[in-house]
Structure 1
Amino acid sequence: MVDGAAGQMSPVMAIALVGALGVGAQWLAWRLKLPAIVLMLLAGILIGPVAGVFDPERDIGPLVQPMISIAVAIILFEGGLTLNLHTLKGVAQGVRRLVFVGAPLGWLLSTLALHYVAGLSWESSAVFGGIMVVTGPTVIAPLLRQARLSRKPAALLQWEAIVNDPIGAMAAVLAFEIVVLRYSAAESTGVAAFHLVSGILIAILVGVAAGILVAWAFRRGKVPEYMKVPVLFVMLLVVFTMPNALLHESGLLAVTAMGVLIANANLPSYDEMRRFKEHATILLVSGVFILLAAGLDFGDLDLLTWRAALFLGVVILLVRPATVLLSLIGSDVGRKERVLVALTGPRGVVLVAVAGLFGERLADLGVVDGALIAPLAFALVAATVVVHGFTLGPLARALGLTGAQRPGILLVGGSRWSTALAEAIKRTETPVLIADRNRGHLRPARAAGIPTFFGDILSELAELHVEYSSYKRLVCVTDNDAYNTLVATDLGPELGRDNVFQLHRENEESTRNSLPATLGGRQFAQGLSYDELASRHREGWEFRVTKLTEAYGIEEFLNARPEAVIITVVYPKGELRFPKKGTEITGGDGAQVVHFSPPKRDSADPAPQAAADDSR
């Protein structure tokens, strides 16, 4: 409940408010096709410093910082879980350059910008410059999801963000230790260096050892299935806190190493763990951004001058591009990818959390401008999130580094009738790809000029060579009902269950053969099975495209072709709809109906007024 005198709400109510606003902002961003991070920042600022309804320190108290620290650790661990080494194929050299050359170079250039542009002391500039190496998986992941980048630039940005996060924290620790030596004679240089190096090595060893232990226990069945996620969470907390006791922020390095090792251990339950962690991360990212924005004090921002605004411009337009372009000189990364990565460098919660911590410590040591680091960090996060949130998508489209502009269809299963279907879909200017494990099944498609993928759509090879961002709908049309169900079930969480379809299974109506709703995809071809489609195709049925007009709408089409099986309706903006049998179908001027119809009669076509009817 709310304390009327102090305007304070209970911690439970405060946490519920944070969760509702965070998830609500992400849902609203999805509906409005806006950057989710921008809406989360706006929501936090509105309920915090603007309206004064929620103050994290007042309403939640001393738990705020531990909550943020644990959330950051879980976010980095989940990021490490996404870094399977096979995704490095084709981008390995670029990632190495961005990490081993880009991180030190970015630290140097950021330090110079902080000192000469923002006006900070060398001590504060060196510490904050190290933190600025971080680009932030908390903001990169939502931006990549919205912009639908092609695989190579997305992999570069994702690997750089996750790997450089702990590196940036370690750079800040190194700079801070040097500042401590200067302001305190308590430790010798040798002792401080030993403390730093040993702390980093121990963090890496702890993370690797924990990853090996988890992989061994899960693979050998030492942990029951229902306890795997709880065990993973507890192990994560232990791995994060142990190295931190020796060296501040080294736990971030440990959990990242643990995540990467588990990601490459080929565990049977890896996908389930990763998806659960992704869901947890969405909640945590939402909560952390709301907490940080709501805890902002406008009085702290008053400490910033015009030099802060100039600094933000220099970082976005000079420091980030120079760091990336110089790092990638002579690499195999293409020119367009270099430009996109160079102009994309949003910062996230790790930077704000770590910067606030070190700012306070510098101020305690007597570095006067240490108090400027926290507000400057928040301004940097807000500026980069807004700028890159609104420019990444348009920039990627201008460079041709996104999936297809119109949502495409991925057909799993090659045959003569699926090739005919793909040809009809292609006439609507909708991208289409046919994938099959049998090279012979793809011969008709290749002869017709339809793009194909030879291999299992569930294989690692498919992840490397199929641009999933170009295809919004997956349709399983093989002659194997069990395989169709497997593919639809496995890829459903990735593409969205509403976007995954499969052919009607034989004898599905019988109790003995029916499956629960959690398995398989949605109904395709209005309930026809593979054998029914193949048989009708042999009898002369054809896949056709009919364009609707104001004079010839969907009702006229249905009346003229009562036997037609509507496969999909393609609307003018490229949206696709796969109608189920018995559902109402809508379609107006400009819509195109892809349908499976009997052979044309010799008599006049019953609908000659259709502008481009049955184009072949």
Structure 2
Amino acid sequence: MPVAPYLALVLALGATCQLVAYRLRVPSILLLLVAGFLLGQVVTPEAVLGRDVLFAGVSVSVGIILFEGSLSLRFRDLQGLGKAVVRLCTVVVAIAWALITASGMIAGVGWQLSLLIGALLVVTGPTVIAPIVRQLRPTRRVSSMLRWEGIVVDPIGAVLAVIVFQTVIIGGPELSLGPALLTLGRLVLISTVLMLVIGGALEVAMRRHLIPDFLEGVVFLAAAVGALVLSNVLQPESGLLTVTMLGIYLANRPGLRLDHVREFKEHLQVLIVGALFVLLAGRISPAEVVSVAPTALVFVALLILVVRPASVWLGLLGTPATREERTLLSFMAPRGIVAAAVTSIFALEIDTAAEEAVLASRQFGLPPLETLALEAEAERLTALVAEAEHLVPLVFVTIVVTVAVYGLGVGRLAERLGLATTSPTGILFAGAPLWARQAAGILQGLGVPTLLVSVSPAEVSQARMAGLRVERTHILSEYAVETMELAGIGSLVAVTYDDETNATAAREFAHTLGSQQTFQLRRQSEPLDDSSHARRGAGSAVESKQRTAGKLTARVAFRPALSAPELEQRLREGMTVRQTKLTEQHTLDDFLARQPEAVLMFVVSEGHATVIGQDTAVPRSGATLVALVQPRPEGR
């Protein structure tokens, strides 16, 4: 198959699988691996791209993924969790490495390759953790621990693999601490120097406004790829550590705004992840999977049932992590693209090392003893090549099973532990006027989580006296945007008197909740009949000059769409927020006939709350309607 159609097919499969997985609420990696596996039975990526191009592209892509992930790691997110995160990235890794190595040997893998597999599989990875966290939406504490572990441990696993490869695989069965320490020292030194030099240069360029906004993402991408490649040239396989350290350095520089970079990298990462899983899964044949199935099943069972729980519980002893958090972390260790990519690379490195050893043993004119030593080394590495043929399919099966088990089962566990919800339906109110407090109280009584955010001491005090969950902060504060607990929250309704605050809050929280779930009140400057986004393309040129640009506003809440002053006026006229059960005997039509001036706000069905907008389909019956209505006449 020609290269261009093949790449187009890979990208199309990657995008389609992720979209379908989102709709079905299943881990996208499962569909990507299946699609790649099936495509690989028709045409393999190496047959189209060639081995060198394929692995060079994989290496660069993994570096970009880790750089993007590390840009989100900020030290302030570790408040109260620093000790736990440090343990996850050190002690837990060491215990897991030892236990995975032992598991490999129990499953029948030689000790040398078991050490290498142990190093490769201590990783979890942002490519599998991020989608699960996005779907699960756990507490901030759990989310921070999972993200830090997933991103930081990836390069640590790669570093461990480099040390094992050079000291055990290449160095021979006689273990030596000296070469290992020397390799580790070079890795850390090169990564640190490149981080400071390249990171410092980017920081200076940003602070002096030398990079225009539209080029920030491209420049940072080029810098990350350059750092990765240069680091690998200076010390093989050190690039992942370099780009991860570079991302963390930039993310934590005070006052450095990287919004354009993060947004650019986010979209690029989604594209790369889809393509990589399809490509790497295409290298596996059914025969290879069948040949390692018995070993793989024993090995993966030990990983899930023994290795992860033991390493987490032992490693986090004496940390602030709660029992519930440790339990969830014990059953959350899916392997991802870094494990797949680095395993493929090292399998190729073992093959290359064996070929070089065979060529060296065939040289003429060498002393007999040296020739015998080279022949013995060539035989040892050739035997390792035969054993390493099962390395890639073994890791492939591990990725599929761990993603399936953790991705499909962790949601229910997190809910039972009270740390997350798989279907967040709560409502976040930006602002806490009286009608919002009334609505929040009703929703809370219907089993819908609510959160009110306000800077008004009076509003906050009255909300607390009403037993409502409330935060005293500005909706656009750093705390609200980046730290505030949103577990269980599915939608935002911005209801402050400031239209610009409402619009900005809706756009900001759309990154977390999705633009379909963020609403604001109708702007005070817009007429009532112009509140629907469906009409924004109509009107005269004069009207278009006066109307707010669609990209600067969010979906308009409630029906009819009223502004903040109009809602307050309705309250002063005696209207109040009430709930009404819609049934076959009292349908929506009956309700509207009795309450023609009602403002429809929310509809609740089976504990799921939906904000009513201009285009929301409200059921006629079988749900509870929350609306601003006229008071009931006395005696009724």
Same fold by TM-score, threshold 0.5 exceeded?
Answer: yes
Give the deviation of 1:493 after TM superposition.
Answer: 2.6
User: Helix, strand or coil for the counterpart of 1:304?
Assistant: helix
Give the deviation of 1:241 after TM superposition.
Answer: 0.3
Q: 1:159 to 1:391 in 2, by over 3 A?
A: same
Aligned twin of 1:495: 513
Say whether 1:150 aligns with 2:139. Answer: yes
Runs of 5+ unmatched residues, structure 1: 1-8, 605-616
User: Helix, strand or coil for the counterpart of 1:357?
Assistant: helix
Question: Paired residue for 1:452, among 456, 470, 482?
Answer: 470
1:319-366 deviation per Cα after TM superposition (whole angstroms, max 9, x unaligned): 111111110111111011101101111111111111122223334233
Say whether 1:423 aligns with 2:455. Answer: no
Alpha-carbon RMSD = 2.2
Give yes or no for contact 1:181–1:189 (8 Å, CA) kept in 2: no
Aligned twin of 1:523: 556
Give yes or no for contact 2:135–2:422 (8 Å, CA) kept in 1: no
CA–CA distance in 2 between the matches of 1:195 and 1:448?
A: 62
Aligned twin of 1:6: none
Amino acid across the alignment from 1:95 = V
Give yes or no for contact 1:489–1:521 (8 Å, CA) kept in 2: yes
Say whether 1:170 aligns with 2:159. Answer: yes
Give the deviation of 1:226 after TM superposition.
Answer: 1.5
Q: 1:191 to 1:45 in 2, by over 3 A?
A: closer
1:91-132 deviation per Cα after TM superposition (whole angstroms, max 9, x unaligned): 2111111112111111111111112x1222222111221111
Q: 1:601 to 1:585 in 2, by over 3 A?
A: farther
Say whether 1:435 aligns with 2:425. Answer: no
Q: 1:405 to 1:138 in 2, by over 3 A?
A: closer
Give the deviation of 1:202 after TM superposition.
Answer: 0.5
Give yes or no for contact 2:231–2:239 (8 Å, CA) kept in 1: yes
Query: What is the correspondence of 1:17-32 to structure 2 with a 5 Å cutoff?
Result: 17-32=9-24
User: Helix, strand or coil for the counterpart of 1:440?
Assistant: helix
In the TM superposition, structure 1's runs of 4+ consecutive aligned residues that sit over 6 Å from their partners are none
CA–CA distance in 1 between the matches of 2:293 and 2:568?
A: 72
User: Helix, strand or coil for the counterpart of 1:182?
Assistant: coil
Aligned twin of 1:537: 571
Give the deviation of 1:180 after TM superposition.
Answer: 4.9
Say whether 1:34 aligns with 2:26. Answer: yes
Aligned twin of 2:38: 46
Give yes or no for contact 2:427–2:490 (8 Å, CA) kept in 1: yes
User: Helix, strand or coil for the counterpart of 2:550?
Assistant: coil
Aligned twin of 2:534: none
Q: 1:450 to 1:404 in 2, by over 3 A?
A: farther
User: Helix, strand or coil for the counterpart of 1:443?
Assistant: helix
Give the deviation of 1:513 after TM superposition.
Answer: 4.9
CA–CA distance in 2 between the matches of 1:216 and 1:111?
A: 45
Give yes or no for contact 1:208–1:257 (8 Å, CA) kept in 2: no
Q: 1:182 to 1:426 in 2, by over 3 A?
A: closer
Deviates more, 1:124-133 or 1:398-407: 398-407
Give yes or no for contact 1:404–1:469 (8 Å, CA) kept in 2: no
Give yes or no for contact 2:589–2:620 (8 Å, CA) kept in 1: no
Q: 1:200 to 1:371 in 2, by over 3 A?
A: farther
CA–CA distance in 2 between the matches of 1:242 and 1:270?
A: 24
Query: What is the correspondence of 1:240-389 to structure 2 with a 5 Å cutoff?
Result: 240-267=228-255, 269-304=257-292, 306-363=294-351, 364=354, 365-366=381-382, 367=384, 368-389=386-407
Say whether 1:504 aligns with 2:522. Answer: yes
Aligned twin of 2:99: 109
Q: 1:468 to 1:245 in 2, by over 3 A?
A: same
Output the TM-score relative to the length of structure 2.
0.88
Give yes or no for contact 2:116–2:164 (8 Å, CA) kept in 1: yes
Amino acid across the alignment from 1:156 = M
CA–CA distance in 2 between the matches of 1:317 and 1:584?
A: 46
Aligned twin of 1:608: none
Aligned twin of 1:547: 581
Q: 1:271 to 1:181 in 2, by over 3 A?
A: same
Question: Paired residue for 1:83, among 63, 66, 73?
Answer: 73
CA–CA distance in 2 between the matches of 1:128 and 1:584?
A: 52
Aligned twin of 2:123: 134
Give the deviation of 1:377 after TM superposition.
Answer: 1.2
1:202-253 deviation per Cα after TM superposition (whole angstroms, max 9, x unaligned): 1232123322221221121011112111111110110100110122221000
Aligned twin of 1:594: 626
Between the aligned residues of both structures, percent identity stands at 35
Give the deviation of 1:190 after TM superposition.
Answer: 5.1
Give yes or no for contact 2:605–2:624 (8 Å, CA) kept in 1: yes
Deviates more, 1:57-66 or 1:187-196: 187-196
Give yes or no for contact 1:215–1:267 (8 Å, CA) kept in 2: no
Aligned twin of 1:60: 49
Q: 1:240 to 1:267 in 2, by over 3 A?
A: farther
User: Helix, strand or coil for the counterpart of 1:569?
Assistant: strand
CA–CA distance in 2 between the matches of 1:374 and 1:276?
A: 32
Give yes or no for contact 1:415–1:444 (8 Å, CA) kept in 2: no
CA–CA distance in 2 between the matches of 1:486 and 1:447?
A: 29
CA–CA distance in 1 between the matches of 2:611 and 2:36?
A: 37
Say whether 1:567 aligns with 2:598. Answer: no
CA–CA distance in 2 between the matches of 1:74 and 1:382?
A: 23
Output the TM-score relative to the length of structure 1.
0.91
Aligned twin of 2:188: 200
Aligned twin of 1:462: 480
CA–CA distance in 1 between the matches of 2:570 and 2:245?
A: 56
Give the deviation of 1:189 after TM superposition.
Answer: 7.4
CA–CA distance in 2 between the matches of 1:406 and 1:303?
A: 42
Question: Paired residue for 1:123, among 83, 100, 112?
Answer: 112
CA–CA distance in 2 between the matches of 1:512 and 1:420?
A: 37
Deviates more, 1:298-307 or 1:386-395: 298-307
Q: 1:330 to 1:189 in 2, by over 3 A?
A: closer
Amino acid across the alignment from 1:214 = L
User: Would you say how many aligned residue pairs link Structure 1 and Structure 2?
Assistant: 589
Give yes or no for contact 1:37–1:142 (8 Å, CA) kept in 2: no
